Amino acid sequence: MTASGRSNLPPLSLHVPEPRFRPGDAVDYSHIAIPPAGAQPRPDERCPAAETQPLCFDLIRVLGEDDRAVGPWNPGLDAETLRRMLRTMALTRAFDDRMYRGQRQGKTSFYMKCTGEEATSVAPAMALAPDDMVFPSYRQQGILISRGYPLVEMINQIYSNRADKLKGRQLPIMYSAREASFFTISGNLATQYPQAVGWAMASAIKGDSRIAAAWIGEGSSAEGDFHSALTFATVYNAPVVFNVVNNQWAISSFSGFAGAERTTFAARAIGYGVAGLRVDGNDPLAVYAASRWAADRARANAGPTLIEHFTYRAEGHSTSDDPGQYRSAQERSEWPLGDPINRLKRHLVALGEWSDEAHEAMDAELVEQVKAATKEAEKNGVLGHGLHHPFHTMFEDVFEELPWHLKEQSEQAIRERRIKWPDWSEDEPWRAS
């Protein structure tokens, strides 16, 4: 007899999600349903949210196997815009590669690449208005690059040097750029979702025309902030776009732990009465079209939209991660939706607007562009080489007027530093001796 005394009932059990492939396993993606490109209907942007429910389980695709853009979601972008999108994604990848090497050389403590996910930041950034407020996670560097933010400023922040506008107070890659309408990145997962809703509500209250857009990974959708944000957004009809980048993996946990085994992440929109779209995250044209649809819907006061970008994290979670410890090495090469840069390149070639030679020349040019920006930033110092902000700044920028007890602590710290390093000046960047 069981402890409860109910011997006639089966014992309860828990389900623990398990990834399909472990290190060393062969990879089989046959369980992923990939519909034909162009087969998905495109409802009007002002449609009732319930009309988008089938699209929460489908996969919006524009680029077909013949590299042509087809179907109602084809945004019809001109060749120059497509080349600009391609160049921005390629620049983002070149930037990532350089910063990754910089971390391995000890020039910074940490970095996170977005290899394979470039379309999920670059295409939405191009679909939004330049002054729409974005609330990114830590893998959306493509947004800043799309908006023309200087690479030198990004590298200064990564290196935490004396030119870092954030004065070394943020983990590398957690940028903040008010001038680019780019909200400060936080290491606390999903906090940007309710912040984006609050900002969007304020924009509506003021009668402004700007909307908000936020990004999280699929793992972060398990946070309570996700659900609070969706509740407020649907209750107040906030003009906001929610992006969930489903790259299959959180740090070392596969998407099943966030609920992917039961349904899609886009389907979470249904329970809140929010419009939902599930899009091929490696198809830049599909991502652009879905983002533009959601932005137009928000701007027309038709309500928020949740977009699931179905993609794959090709690299480790960060420079502190070794994906070989928890997933098969074949996953990247076998991923059935391909690479976003290569797919857009092939599309342009099919249109007669690009070539392998032009692409090779562009890549070489971008490598040099990033290299030049890196050398310029390194004049301001790198991690651990003593070129930092003045010591006294560690007490600044929290209070409008420094409280008396912090003034005392500041004076004491500076006094002790002068005793230890007599030739040190508080007005110059501190150089360790």
User: Does residue 264 sit within a domain?
Assistant: yes
The whole-number pLDDT of residue 431 equals 44
User: Does residue 9 sit within a domain?
Assistant: no
Average pLDDT over residues 194-223: 97
Query: Do 432 and 293 sit in the same domain of this protein?
Result: no
Query: Do 199 and 228 sit in the same domain of this protein?
Result: yes
Average pLDDT over residues 6-32: 93
Q: How far is CA 138 from the centre of its chain?
A: 6
Query: Do 262 and 139 sit in the same domain of this protein?
Result: yes
Distance CA 53, CA 269 (A): 8
Is the pLDDT confidence value at 430 over 50?
no
Query: Do 174 and 284 sit in the same domain of this protein?
Result: yes
The whole-number pLDDT of residue 5 equals 63
User: Does residue 262 sit within a domain?
Assistant: yes
Query: Do 103 and 199 sit in the same domain of this protein?
Result: yes
User: Does residue 13 sit within a domain?
Assistant: no
Q: 19-52 burial string, b = 16+ CB within 10 Å, else e?
A: bebeeeeeeeeeeeeeeebbebebbebeeebeeb
Entry pTM: 0.94
Query: Do 270 and 127 sit in the same domain of this protein?
Result: yes
Domain span at 424: 390-433
Which tokens in the block code for residue 373? 């920006």
The total number of structural domains that make up the chain: 2
Q: In angstroms, how far apart are the furthest CA atoms of the chain?
A: 83
Q: Which of 74-78, 326-330, 346-350, 352-356 has the lowest mean pLDDT?
A: 326-330
DSSP label of 248? S
How many Cα atoms are found within 13 Å in the side-chain-facing hemisphere of 15?
8
Q: Assess contact for 340 and 283: CB atoms under 8 A.
A: yes
Distance CA 133, CA 129 (A): 9
Query: Do 397 and 259 sit in the same domain of this protein?
Result: no
Query: Do 105 and 199 sit in the same domain of this protein?
Result: yes
What's the pLDDT tens digit per position in 83-124? 999 999 999 999 999 999 999 999 999 999 999 999 999 999
**CATH number of the domain that 348 lies in?**
3.40.50.970
Q: Assess contact for 19 and 321: CB atoms under 8 A.
A: no
Query: Do 372 and 427 sit in the same domain of this protein?
Result: no
Query: Do 407 and 280 sit in the same domain of this protein?
Result: no
The whole-number pLDDT of residue 2 equals 54
Query: Do 364 and 218 sit in the same domain of this protein?
Result: yes
Q: In what order do the strands lie in the sheet with 212-217?
A: 133-135, 212-217, 240-246, 305-310, 275-280
The whole-number pLDDT of residue 427 equals 53
User: Does residue 37 sit within a domain?
Assistant: no
Cβ burial of 416 (10 Å; 0-12, 13-18, 19+) is: exposed
Q: State the helix-helix crossing angle for 356-378 and 79-104, rounded to 10 degrees.
A: 50
User: What does the chain come to in residues?
Assistant: 433
Distance CA 235, CA 157 (A): 38
What's the pLDDT tens digit per position in 252-306? 899 999 999 999 999 999 999 999 999 999 999 999 999 999 999 999 999 999 9
The whole-number pLDDT of residue 428 equals 52
What's the pLDDT tens digit per position in 395-420? 888 899 999 999 999 899 888 988 98
Q: Please enumerate in sequence order all residues whose Cβ is within 8 A of that of 270, keeping only pairs 6 or more positions apart, or say none.
A: 53, 56, 276
Query: Do 344 and 413 sit in the same domain of this protein?
Result: no
User: Does residue 244 sit within a domain?
Assistant: yes
User: Does residue 182 sit within a domain?
Assistant: yes
User: Does residue 42 sit within a domain?
Assistant: no
